Structure 1
Amino acid sequence: MNADQLLRKYAAGDRNFCLVNLSRVNLRQANLSGADFTEANLSQINLWRANLSHSTLATANLQGAELEGANLRLADLSGADMMGANLIGANLSLASLTGADLRAVTMMIAGLVGADLNGADLQGANLIGADLRGANLVGANLNRTNLSGACLYEADLSEANLSKINLQRTVYDEQTKFPDGFHPIAAGAYLMAPQVSLSGINLSGVPLPGVNLNQADLSQVDLRKSDLFGADLSNADLSGANLSDANLSGANLSGVDLSDVNLDGANLSGTTMPDGDVHNCQELSPSEKKTPPQYN
């Protein structure tokens, strides 16, 4: 089946594409939401920025597939062979990837919020900056997996193989579960919790939405371009911190001294400022930048 035949069938209401051979077919930006590709041959297919939300790709062959920026939200990829696929920036939130072969996949900055990766093989995969909040990684193979700068809030990695895993600049919270005896801080990860000390560390570009860092020591921390949407930074020590181009929309900065903080280009829309007022502009005004406001 070629691309035109498939798209005509889909437009006519057909959603059953089980066992079809679409190897190397170009379906860039195609809308295939809800389609059933169970056991289909999709090896080296081009699905760049395609919409595959709610689709079924269970046990499909997706080796070497191009899925950069694709929407796979709530998709069923259980048992799929995705070895070597490109999933940079793909949305896999709430997707089922149980038992999937994800060896050597590229999933940089992919969204995997609430994804089920129980028993998945992620050996040698690249998940730099991926968002794995609430993901199920129980029993997953993370041998030599690169999770540098990833977000693991409330993720469950119990019984996972973490041999030679890269957790440099990875963030986790008190609800994150690791295998017994594993020490994430020793592996380079950072605990995000109230009153922790993160002085001087580099968290630039790391996803930190909703993080609770109340009364934390964030002096001299590098948070350039970090996503701090809805974060609680109340009463934190941000002296000398760099928050340029960070997203602080909806964040709580009450009780924080901003006189020595770099906020150039930061998004402050809806941010609770140190005096308790809600900021109604995206950035600080020129006058505020020249003369940092004093908050008592």
Structure 2
Amino acid sequence: MNPDELLTKYEDGERDFCLVNLSGVNLIKANLREADFTQANLSNANLVRANLFRTTLGTANLQGAELEGANLRGADLSGADLMEANLIAANLSFASLTGADLSGANLMSAGLVGADLNGSNLFRVNLVGADLRGAKLIGANLWETNLSKAYLYETDLTEAYIEEANFQRVLYNEKTLFPDGFDPTEAGGYLIAPGVCLSGTDLSGVYLAGVNLRQANLRGVELRNANLMWADLKDADLSEANLMGANLSGANLSGANLSGANLSGANLSGATMPDGKLHKVFQEV
């Protein structure tokens, strides 16, 4: 089946494309939401920025497929072959990837919020900066996986194989579950929780919206261009911190120590300031 035939059938209301052979086809920006590609051959297909929302791709062959920026939110990819696939910045939030083979795939900056990756193969996968908040990776293979700068808030990694995985600068919270005996702090990760000491760390550009960092030691922290919208920073020590260009709109800064902090270009609209007063929307720092 060629791309034109596929898209024509889709536009005519057909959704069942099980077992079709679409190897190497060009489907850039194609809208195929909620279609069924169970066991289809999409190896090396170009699906960059394609809309595959809630698409069924169970046990499909997607080896080497180009899926950069694709919308796979809520898709069923259980048992799919995604070896060496390009999924940079793809949206896989709430997708099912149980038992999928993603070895060697590139998921840099991918959205995997609430995704089910239980039992998946993530050998040597690039997950740098990926958003894995609330994702399940129970029993997943993370051998030599690069998780640097990934967001692991409330992520479940119990029984995962993490030999030689890179956890440098990952962000996790008290509800994140790691394999028994693993110390994420020793591995270079940062705990985001009330009262923690992150003095002198580099958190520039990170997503910290809504986090609870009450009474945290953030002295001298690099938070340039960080997103701290609605963050709870009550009584936190932010002295000498670099908050240039940071988004602090709606944040709670009551009682916080901001002495020597760089707030140049920071958005403080609606933030509660250290003196308890509300910062006006267009008020200069």
- Quickly name the TM-score band, shorter chain normalised: over 0.9
Q: Displacement of 1:204 after TM fit?
A: 1.7
Q: How does 1:154-173 map to 2 (within 5 A)?
A: 154-173=154-173
Separation in 2, partners of 1:275, 1:2: 65
Q: How does 1:121-136 map to 2 (within 5 A)?
A: 121-136=121-136
Quote the residue 1:293 is aligned against. Answer: none
* Identical positions, percent: 66
| SS at 1:7 equivalent | helix
Q: How does 1:281-292 map to 2 (within 5 A)?
A: 281=281, 285=284, 288=285
Letter of the 1:68 counterpart:
E
Separation in 2, partners of 1:3, 1:123: 32
| SS at 2:5 equivalent | helix
Separation in 2, partners of 1:122, 1:194: 32
Q: How does 1:138-149 map to 2 (within 5 A)?
A: 138-149=138-149
Q: Are 1:261 and 2:267 counterparts? A: no
Quote the residue 1:230 is aligned against. Answer: 230
Q: How does 1:203-222 map to 2 (within 5 A)?
A: 203-222=203-222
Separation in 1, partners of 2:104, 2:229: 31
Instruction: Give the gaps of 5 or more residues in structure 2.
Output: none
Quote the residue 1:250 is aligned against. Answer: 250
| Deviation string, structure 1 residues 156-180 (Cα, Å, up to 9, x no partner) | 0000001001011101111111111
Q: Are 1:25 and 2:51 counterparts? A: no
Contact 1:57 1:78 in 2 (8 A): yes
Q: How does 1:40-59 map to 2 (within 5 A)?
A: 40-59=40-59
Letter of the 1:192 counterpart:
I
| Deviation string, structure 1 residues 220-251 (Cα, Å, up to 9, x no partner) | 11112223232211111001111223232332
Letter of the 2:45 counterpart:
I
Contact 1:203 1:222 in 2 (8 A): yes
Aligned length: 285
Contact 2:237 2:258 in 1 (8 A): no
Using a 3 Å threshold, how does the CA distance of structure 1 residues 25 and 277 change in structure 2: closer, same or farther?
Answer: farther
Separation in 1, partners of 2:269, 2:86: 34
Q: Displacement of 1:5 after TM fit?
A: 1.1
Separation in 2, partners of 1:3, 1:268: 49
Separation in 2, partners of 1:55, 1:45: 16
Q: Displacement of 1:280 after TM fit?
A: 4.5
Contact 1:219 1:238 in 2 (8 A): yes
Q: Displacement of 1:253 after TM fit?
A: 1.8
15-24 or 246-255, which moves further after superposition? 246-255
Letter of the 1:241 counterpart:
A
Letter of the 1:62 counterpart:
L
14-23 or 256-265, which moves further after superposition? 256-265
Contact 2:50 2:69 in 1 (8 A): yes
Using a 3 Å threshold, how does the CA distance of structure 1 residues 280 and 61 change in structure 2: closer, same or farther?
Answer: farther
Quote the residue 2:106 is aligned against. Answer: 106
Q: Displacement of 1:259 after TM fit?
A: 4.1
The Cα RMSD (Å) is: 1.5
Separation in 2, partners of 1:159, 1:209: 29
246-255 or 55-64, which moves further after superposition? 246-255
Q: How does 1:61-100 map to 2 (within 5 A)?
A: 61-100=61-100
Separation in 2, partners of 1:164, 1:177: 18
Instruction: Give the gaps of 5 or more residues in structure 1.
Output: 289-296
